[in-house]
Amino acid sequence: MPNPRLGFCCKFLPQGREAETVRQMNTTTVTMAYLGRLGPEAAYDKLATVVAHNLEAAVRQIAHVASRPKLERLHRLSSDLLPGYTHPSCQEFYRDRDLRDLVETKLASAGQLAREHDVRLSMHPGQFCVIASASPSAVVNGMAEFEYHADVMRYMGYGEGWHPFGAHINIHGGAKAVGVEGIREGLGRLSETARNLITIENDEVSFGLDDLLPLADAVPLVLDLHHHWIKSGGEYVEPDDPRIERIITSWRGERPLSHISVSREDLLPDHDIHVLPDYKALIQAGIRPKDLRGHSDLMWNMAVNDLVACHLAWSDFEVEAKLKNIASEGLARHVEGQGALVA
């Protein structure tokens, strides 16, 4: 398999938190309510300005990741790149030739930059982007939102074939009421490009890892170790777990990707960093499950980091921590210090 990779999600934080660097390196947005208060020309100008900034920020983020060691060449792009893309009030703006040319040109160069430097890219729509729901309107909106992300990937050069270069768009399963068959039906309603890019991860409430395994023949599964720890009441999935092979198979030859996070530092201030948190003991101590779900600032628990280092034998990892690249770089240094896997 290719060299293992770790990466951060969506937002770049400079070590010194310089305001101008934060602004240049990260996307911004504009609300539909604000645009609605403007005349058509002013609304277009505002949207185009935000889009131009966001596209430059995406290129800067990819360039930063490309400059990192090979272990860190993985990145999740923000969903905010093209604000209002699916909103009726903005659809005409996005059909404008100048704005469309800007979007297509800049995203194409961003994708080319990523491929030249072996940076693996992903996107992760918000929790309301579902392809299966008991609510028809939720499905319609979710499908439109997912297809927007597929358009972004297509403009970047990832529109052909099965998860090209490992690119993917990850969502949760949605409402448990529809079951995995509802998800299968939703997959069938997506465009071919979207079907070739979608992945689904286990969550803490509706679809756990075991719930999703029957879909391994239809869609790549993203293992979220922290979500599973919560959902299972404290189980840590080990690399030799038989379910891992089914996850690997679901990717059909592409290297899988997984998620890692750990409960917040302030919940466990006196916890031994070299010992895996014990879910049942923490619950018995009075900590609520919903509080344990929250992500920490950094990857502070060395035992969890050791587990990730072992899993890197088969999967890349996105680090879901509040301090973004600072957290993922810390984890990368820990993995490198183990003297395994990374050339």
For 31-69, write each residue's pLDDT tens digit.
Answer: 999 999 999 999 999 999 999 999 999 999 999 999 999
Q: Report whether pLDDT(341) > 70.
A: no
Look up the domain containing 304 and give its range: 261-343
Q: Report whether pLDDT(179) > 50.
A: yes
313 within some domain: yes
334 within some domain: yes
Give the residue from 340, 331, 333 showing the smallest Cα distance to 310. Answer: 340
Residue 342 confidence class, pLDDT cut points 50, 70, 90: very low
pLDDT at 343: 39
Q: Report whether pLDDT(70) > 50.
A: yes
Residue 175 confidence class, pLDDT cut points 50, 70, 90: confident
- Taking the C-alpha atoms of residue 144 and residue 87, their distance in angstroms, rounded to an integer, is 10
- Taking the C-alpha atoms of residue 203 and residue 211, their distance in angstroms, rounded to an integer, is 10
Structural domain count of the chain = 1
For 282-318, how does the pLDDT look when each residue is reduced to its tens digit (9 = 90+)?
999 999 999 999 999 999 999 999 999 999 999 999 9
* Mean pLDDT, all residues of the chain: 95
Q: Report whether pLDDT(1) > 80.
A: no
173 within some domain: no
pLDDT > 90: percent of the chain: 92
Tell me what the mean pLDDT of segment 121-150 comes to. 93
Q: Report whether pLDDT(340) > 60.
A: no
Instruction: Give the lowest-confidence range in 165-169, 179-183, 250-254.
Output: 179-183
- The pTM for the full model equals 0.95
13 within some domain: no
336 within some domain: yes
| Residue, of 221 and 128, whose pLDDT is higher | 221
Give the residue from 309, 330, 311 showing the smallest Cα distance to 15. Answer: 330
68 within some domain: no
DSSP H or E stretch at residue 13:
none
Q: Report whether pLDDT(262) > 80.
A: yes
Residue 97 confidence class, pLDDT cut points 50, 70, 90: very high
128 within some domain: no
pLDDT at 177: 85
DSSP H or E stretch at residue 112:
helix 97-116
Q: Label residues 50-80 b or e (16+ Cβ within 10 Å = b).
A: bbeebbebbbbbbebbbebeebbbbbbbbbb
Q: Report whether pLDDT(203) > 70.
A: yes
Q: Report whether pLDDT(167) > 60.
A: yes
> What secondary structure does DSSP assign to 257-283, as a single string?
EEEE--B-GGGSTT--TTS---HHHHH
pLDDT at 247: 98
- Taking the C-alpha atoms of residue 171 and residue 148, their distance in angstroms, rounded to an integer, is 13
From residue 121, give the alpha-carbon distance in Å to each of 49, 68, 71, 166. Answer: 24, 14, 14, 7
Instruction: Give the lowest-confidence range in 106-120, 164-178, 245-259.
Output: 164-178
323 within some domain: yes
pLDDT at 85: 97
Instruction: Give the lowest-confidence range in 50-54, 95-99, 129-133.
Output: 129-133
